[in-house]
């Protein structure tokens, strides 16, 4: 089978190689000669540009003083790229429903404030807390999928959620609640109840939302960072929460957003990033990524690894399943090495953890649960 691609037809294998890599693909991928091309092919040209991305602010130092100065400078650059992610100074909370379970109560809340879209949040409060007793809390972030935060909160009563939970051990919010944590599980855009997928004509809501918000000078990732920080405000406002003992955990896009909010908001004391050990340079060179993860201009200065490095020296575990097809060998080690450099410079190498478990694109918790207990309950 042959495909027409540019001025000449190509065998299927060469076509797919062109489509995925381009002739200028990054050297971390096998080099495949494709012969002479006379036409300008945009995906090939962009792959070449990605390979040559400047990344001018990579941390190359070795001391704590150098690392702290770099973190201050890179965080300022990141905040400029993202724009305003501050939370509403005042808001109201509407309780939409509640459900009682053996070990916790689940509240379905809607946070409302002037000038920003309302935020749906599940709040899971463990039972058995004594009057005046405060529990540690975890902000639990969902990934891609039609169910939004329903999976994380363990909504088995919603059709399809049980299978999604089984596929990815997805109800880690419920699991944290049963371990005695107050859990906030907000719904991100454009997922769950915050999107009408039928109105997109089969197009990706992440891509469409990114383009539409760009027209307004806004970014989906920034809106979601704001809503995650708003959820932290919610937790800290609750009388049953120890506001100095808050962690954050998420899978897939939830892992990416756990990385983002933990890098920006130092009220998070410990984090678990699952299924998100990807670099933007890798994804944009050889594959694609969703608009909800895009930070325009980032590759001029750094990558997701530099954002993750802003979490240091706070404890963090990065989970990767052995069969997770979204984690690309060699690139994942580039990410790990950059993280190791910052933690080592800050004298905190023992606070950086990697959970390489047997499994796929799923939540593990093997290292995260005891780490959170140590940091937040110790």
Assess whether 315 and 186 both reside in one domain. yes
User: Which residues, in sequence order, are CB contacts of 370 under 8 Å at separation 6+?
Assistant: none
Which H or E run includes 309?
Answer: helix 304-309
Assess whether 41 and 147 both reside in one domain. no
Residue 81 domain-assigned (yes or no):
no
Number of domains in the chain: 2
DSSP 8-state symbol, 31 = P
Assess whether 106 and 201 both reside in one domain. yes
Q: Minimal CA–CA distance to 280: which of 264, 299, 260, 263?
A: 299
Residue 111 domain-assigned (yes or no):
yes
Assess whether 192 and 279 both reside in one domain. yes
Which H or E run includes 280?
Answer: helix 280-286
Altogether, the residues listed in the chain come to a count of 378
Q: Is 187 left (phi over 0), alpha (psi -120 to 50) or beta?
A: beta
350 vs 353: CA distance, rounded Å = 7
Assess whether 47 and 100 both reside in one domain. no
Residue 78 domain-assigned (yes or no):
no
Residue 75 domain-assigned (yes or no):
no
User: Which residues, in sequence order, are CB contacts of 187 under 8 Å at separation 6+?
Assistant: 119, 120, 121, 142, 148, 149, 193, 194
CATH number at residue 319: 3.40.50.1820
Residue 66 domain-assigned (yes or no):
no
Assess whether 41 and 107 both reside in one domain. no
Expressed as residue numbers, the domain containing 348 is 92-377
Q: What is the pLDDT along the chain (378 residues), one digit of tens a residue?
A: 333 323 333 333 332 333 333 333 334 433 334 444 556 788 888 888 888 898 999 999 999 999 999 999 999 999 999 999 999 999 999 999 999 999 999 999 999 999 999 999 999 999 999 999 999 999 999 999 999 999 999 999 999 999 999 999 999 999 999 999 999 999 999 999 999 988 999 899 999 999 999 999 999 999 999 999 999 999 999 999 999 999 999 999 999 999 999 999 999 999 999 999 999 998 888 777 789 999 999 999 999 999 999 999 999 999 999 999 999 999 999 999 999 999 999 999 999 999 999 999 999 999 999 999 999 998
Q: Minimal CA–CA distance to 342: which of 83, 14, 65?
A: 65
């Amino acid at each position: 089978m042959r495909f027409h691609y540019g001025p000449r037809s190509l065998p299927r294998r060469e076509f797919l190689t062109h489509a995925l890599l381009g002739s200028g693909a990054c050297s971390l991928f096998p080099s495949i000669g494709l012969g002479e091309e006379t036409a300008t092919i945009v995906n090939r040209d962009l792959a070449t540009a990605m390979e040559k991305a400047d990344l001018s602010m990579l941390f190359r130092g070795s001391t704590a003083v150098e690392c702290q100065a770099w973190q201050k400078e890179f965080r300022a650059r990141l905040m400029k790229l993202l724009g305003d992610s501050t939370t509403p100074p005042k808001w109201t909370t509407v309780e939409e429903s509640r459900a009682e379970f053996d070990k916790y109560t689940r509240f379905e809340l809607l946070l409302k404030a002037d000038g920003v879209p309302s935020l749906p949040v599940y709040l899971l409060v463990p039972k058995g807390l004594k009057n005046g007793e405060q529990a540690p809390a975890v902000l639990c972030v969902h990934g891609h999928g039609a169910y939004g935060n329903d999976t994380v909160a363990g909504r088995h009563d919603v059709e399809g959620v049980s299978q999604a939970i089984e596929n990815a051990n997805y109800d880690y919010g419920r699991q944290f609640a049963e371990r005695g944590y107050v859990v906030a599980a907000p719904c991100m855009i454009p997922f769950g109840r915050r999107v009408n997928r039928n109105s997109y004509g089969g197009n990706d809501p992440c891509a469409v939302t990114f383009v539409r918000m760009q027209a307004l000078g806004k970014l989906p990732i920034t809106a979601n960072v704001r809503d995650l920080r708003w959820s932290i405000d919610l937790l800290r406002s609750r009388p049953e929460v120890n506001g100095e003992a808050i962690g954050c955990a998420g899978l897939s896009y939830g892992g990416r957003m756990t990385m983002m909010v933990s890098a920006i908001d130092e009220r998070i004391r410990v984090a678990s990033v699952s299924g998100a050990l990807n670099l933007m340079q890798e994804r944009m060179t050889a594959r694609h990524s969703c608009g909800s993860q895009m930070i325009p201009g980032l590759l001029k200065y750094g990558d997701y690894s530099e954002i993750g490095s802003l979490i240091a020296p706070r404890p963090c575990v990065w989970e990767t399943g052995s069969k997770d097809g979204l984690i690309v060998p060699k690139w994942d080690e580039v990410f790990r090495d950059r993280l190791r450099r910052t933690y080592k410079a800050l004298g905190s190498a023992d606070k950086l953890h990697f959970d390489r478990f047997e499994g796929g694109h799923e939540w593990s918790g093997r290292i995260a649960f005891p780490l959170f207990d140590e940091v937040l309950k110790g």
